[in-house]
Amino acid sequence: MLQTPEEYNNMMKKKKQSTMLNRLNRLTGKGTYESFDMRCMVTGQFAVGKSSLVKLLVGDVIPEGRHPTDGISLHEGRCGLDVQTREWILINPETYNAMDVVYNKVLMTSNEEMEHNLKEKSDQQQASDRSPSGSKDDDMVNPGVLQQSQAMALPLPLNTSDNLSKQPPAALTLPPQASSIVPLSRQQLKQKMKAKMTKDEIRRKMEKVLKSGKYKMKVGRLIFWDFGGQYVYYTTHQTFMTYRALFLVVFDGSKGLHEQVPDVLCFPGQHMTPTPAVFLQHWVNCILTYCKAVYTGIPKILFVATHKDKVPKEDIETWRTDLYSGVEDLFKDHEGREHLVIDNQIFVNATDKTDPEIDVLKKAITDLTFQHPCWGEAMPNASVPLELEIANLVAKGKQVLSLLEVEELNAISKVSVLSNEELSTFLHFQHSLGKMVYFDTPQLRGYVIISPLLLVEVMRSFVTDIAFWPKKGLIRNTFERMSESGIIQRKDLYLIWEQKHFSKISPYKEFIFDMLIHLDILSEQRRYDTNTGSRLPVENFFVPCMLTQRNDTRFMTHECTPEKAISLAFVFKGTIIPPALPNRLISACLSMWTVKTYEGKQLLFSGFVGLSFDKAHDIVVCVEGNKILLYIVHATSNGLIVPDITTGIKECMYTTLERISEFYKSTVSSSSQKLPFHIEYACSRLECHINEEAAFTTDEWICDKHEIVHTKDKWNIWNQDQAKEECEINCQGLQEDALNQIPSDIELQRFSSRCEETVIRELAIHLGITLHEWEKLRSDYEFVDIVKFRALVTWREKYSGRFSNIAKALQDMDLTTHTLCQVKRIRKGHCVINEEYMDLIPTDEILDKLAQVIGVVSFQLGLELGLPITSIDIIQYNNGRDLVAQCKDILFQWREDQRVRPTIRVLVQALVNVDRGAKCLEEIIKTVGVKKYTLHEEVEEKKEGKIKTLLKNLNPFQKKK
């Protein structure tokens, strides 16, 4: 049974996830230890006391006055839970030792035989351990040292015969910029890097920890993430959310749930009054949208009310009851109700450590932590040596490693070496745990962020509230421009990263920049020369989440009207869409289409964007309540909207939303989660909506508000079969506006390629081309497809020909005019190239191999890729009958063209349009792989060429080859 592309992709996705799980299980099979770590993510509206509450819980001093959080503040290694007694333990941060945490974790689950053997050996070596060469306390573990991230461990070696090295640990001396600018060879890395852990060193470390006896106290870590509550951060917070956490949603209990929050706009597209209830709904929806469902009812969301001190003592209990009754009512019908912990009714004074309800809160956190399935979960032992090495680098201030460095660090280990599969699984799993940041895509897989704190710094370096802007200067100006237009230039962002407190970002700025684009935090701004239409180099980038201005233009009332537009909605569950989702959708749209200018303003506002698709069609995306509305607007009439364009835009938007929604899912989990949205189609007045499923199963639908009858055929415009060559039965042909257009080179090429030579010959004569002109073209060009195209170009230039002229000539010849309809269609071919590769620029190797298999359609391909006829003529002239050379020059010139981003996706569509198909490209990619294209090879070729030229000039007697 044949599979559809979608079925095939789903099968490959499940197979990949299954492979990941199998690899992880193989690691687990080598031995495990129990890991006790819990992230407590403290969220909520701004200025409700989140930071004060966190400081109180971890034992910090609470400062006077309000101190807003810039982005995210992490509190690690400050408190934990006794696994046996459940007691809350505060920890002295000065006792922190990143390496000791790993040893503690392993020893907490060591078996009795291992303990006996290690104790026995520790007694034998006690004297040497106390020798003058080192203090007996040098490596002792404080039981509460909990700051280092979760670790994986290797079964401990008890045999001391293979004491491979007595050398002290060597620090990694490779400077950060070395790997980000000039990658070192594997041999150079070996000379630079030395493995620090040996079996004997691990054994001796364990013996000393055991000798102290403190390992007996099993302590799990609590790590608090304090999320800034200002709106501007709501797009970046989701990057760090995970089901492997406990969430605290904090709100001001001294205010009514429906009392207006002053001096704040509501979320984009929300016309309700901003209230504490709105923010509670936002955070619940946000958490449940971005945390994948692995365990039923996980993650848990605990509600915590603050500012109890602002309520009269005699009214506290009554106020508490009413307050939580309102919360219960707010979420009584919420589909995520099983995640919510409301019954505790916690109401605290977050500035008073003596408040008895702080202990109630601690107990609630303790109970929920011990109930969490990730508390005490088995972690694989196999990769402890590698994690120890990385932990040591983090402790020394290292934050990023190249993938080559990680591979080399693993390969030269004196304790355990992971296979390539195990190392890949290790990186993916650590990413899913939030310990590292590793995106396995061609653009980003070259680096691993080993300290996620760096990503927090990256986000808040430019996505930040006005309270944290510099008071004056160039950077202040950058932030002001961003808040007004959402635009930042690459050089401005690099300037921000040159500041002292962001200095660790700067060496990896290109990698970080690519990562921000991958996360849709940044998107490039497309600009075109108004005279030539050529695409200009990208200088500006959009940061949609920094936009605060709302749409104040007349575009929606004057242009996006029922007479000119059609619409559908992506409808989300709940009443509030997490702002990150529409912001990231808008960001993705900006990288695909050009922002439209209307009445002198760019149509880019908070929660709203207007885009130009072509001269006739515009796209509008805006947020309204729990819907993301998509409009297709025609310049004159919605009856002229091209169905293929509509279908293509809808599919593109759906795929993008799907990608954004699934982005946060772990690559090692096979669990599935339904998408958080569904599609509804708008009525002809653009106001009422019908569910997509009902739209195609109901013969007639009468919208409630206008009582207008709609048949199910109305929705066909959104769902064209793009693989179908023929028009629909009820197709009326090109409309008046389309007929009045002058056909482009690409349109003439598509039309001529679908007609036989005799048809085009007769048509050309009907249009005014003489028989002599036809015969001359026939003798000048070898391939008949080029002759057919040239004849129509000659007619267009000679008579300023329009589509209407072709249509009339076809009618005079008693031929169908629906051939012209196909010119406007977007053809869709079968392609199994991985989606993550589609937006990459093809490398030299890919283009070289593709040039060898394109054949006689190189001319047509050049036109489809947008090259001018004159450029293709020059290429053909310079290369004579060498088709491979012609194809190569066409492909390389296209890649250098600034009018379009030369991606694999564009190349696939062009191959489909010239009837070559994408199979040849699929096979090449399967053979040579895909990597990020750089100008490195091009630069080297130019250098080599200059050297050859110089040598020739030095030797004037050298013969020309």
Q: Which of 43-47, 192-196, 220-224, 906-910 has the lowest mean pLDDT?
A: 192-196
Average pLDDT over residues 834-845: 81
Dihedral (Cα; 90, 94, 96, 97), 10-degree rounding: -160
More confident residue, 518 or 826: 518
pLDDT at 129: 42
Going by the DSSP 8-state scheme, the letter that residue 689 receives in this structure is E
DSSP structure string for 496-508: HHTSGGGTTTGGG
pLDDT at 115: 46
For residue range 490-524, list pLDDT tens digits in order. 888 888 888 887 888 888 888 888 888 877 777 77
**Distance, CA of 926 to CA of 652 (rounded, Å):** 25
pLDDT at 252: 92
Q: Which of 116-130, 246-260, 726-740 has the lowest mean pLDDT?
A: 116-130
pLDDT at 328: 94
Q: Say whether pLDDT at 11 is over 50.
A: yes
Q: Say whether pLDDT at 881 is over 50.
A: yes
DSSP structure string for 12-42: HHHHHHHHHHHHHHHHHHT-EEEE-EEEEEE
For residue range 645-660, list pLDDT tens digits in order. 888 889 888 888 887 7
Please, which residues bridge with residue 220 across strands? 81
For residue range 426-438, list pLDDT tens digits in order. 888 888 777 788 8
**Is the entire prediction scored with pTM above 0.85?**
no
pLDDT at 688: 93
Going by the DSSP 8-state scheme, the letter that residue 610 receives in this structure is E
* Most confidently predicted of 272-276, 590-594, 746-750, 756-760: 756-760
Residue 493 contacts residue 462 (beta carbons within 8 Å) = yes
For residue range 289-333, list pLDDT tens digits in order. 778 778 889 999 999 999 999 999 999 999 999 999 999 999 988
- Report CA 548 to chain centroid distance, whole Å: 22
- The label of the residue with tokens 């290429």 reads 875
Q: Which of 57, 40, 72, 53 is nearest to 227 (CA)?
A: 72
Assign 952 a pLDDT band (cuts: 50, 70, 90). very low
pLDDT at 566: 95
- What percent of the chain lies above the pLDDT cut of 70? 70
For residue range 751-793, list pLDDT tens digits in order. 888 889 999 999 999 899 988 989 988 888 878 888 988 999 9
Average pLDDT over residues 232-250: 76
* Most confidently predicted of 37-51, 371-385, 674-688, 912-926: 674-688
Longest dimension (CA), the chain: 108
- The label of the residue with tokens 């990385």 reads 390
For residue range 32-46, list pLDDT tens digits in order. 777 888 889 888 887
CA distances from 64 to 52, 61, 67, 304, 351 (A): 10, 10, 8, 22, 9
CA distances from 762 to 360, 639, 748, 774, 788 (A): 89, 32, 16, 10, 11
Q: Does an H or E element contain 518, and which?
A: helix 509-518
pLDDT at 885: 84
pLDDT at 151: 29
More confident residue, 32 or 54: 54
User: Is the CA virtual torsion 830, 833, 839, 843 positive or negative?
Assistant: negative
For residue range 866-879, list pLDDT tens digits in order. 888 888 888 888 88
Quote the mean pLDDT of the chain: 75
For residue range 454-482, list pLDDT tens digits in order. 877 887 777 776 766 777 778 888 777 77
pLDDT at 781: 84
Q: Which of 80-89, 168-177, 446-455, 457-466 has the lowest mean pLDDT?
A: 168-177
pLDDT at 250: 92
pLDDT at 369: 94
pLDDT at 741: 81
- What percent of the chain lies above the pLDDT cut of 90? 16
Residue 305 contacts residue 255 (beta carbons within 8 Å) = no
pLDDT at 667: 32
**Distance, CA of 423 to CA of 23 (rounded, Å):** 10
**Distance, CA of 410 to CA of 230 (rounded, Å):** 42
Please, which residues bridge with residue 702 across strands? 709
CB neighbours of 955 closer than 8 A, spacing ≥ 6?
none
For residue range 538-594, list pLDDT tens digits in order. 677 877 767 767 788 999 999 999 999 999 999 987 666 776 778 778 877 877 788
CB neighbours of 316 closer than 8 A, spacing ≥ 6?
308, 347
pLDDT at 217: 56
**Distance, CA of 56 to CA of 102 (rounded, Å):** 27
Q: Which of 275-289, 590-604, 936-950 has the lowest mean pLDDT?
A: 936-950
**Distance, CA of 379 to CA of 579 (rounded, Å):** 35
Q: Which of 86-90, 340-344, 727-731 has the lowest mean pLDDT?
A: 727-731
Q: Say whether pLDDT at 631 is over 90.
A: yes
Q: Which of 183-192, 200-209, 832-841, 903-912 has the lowest mean pLDDT?
A: 183-192
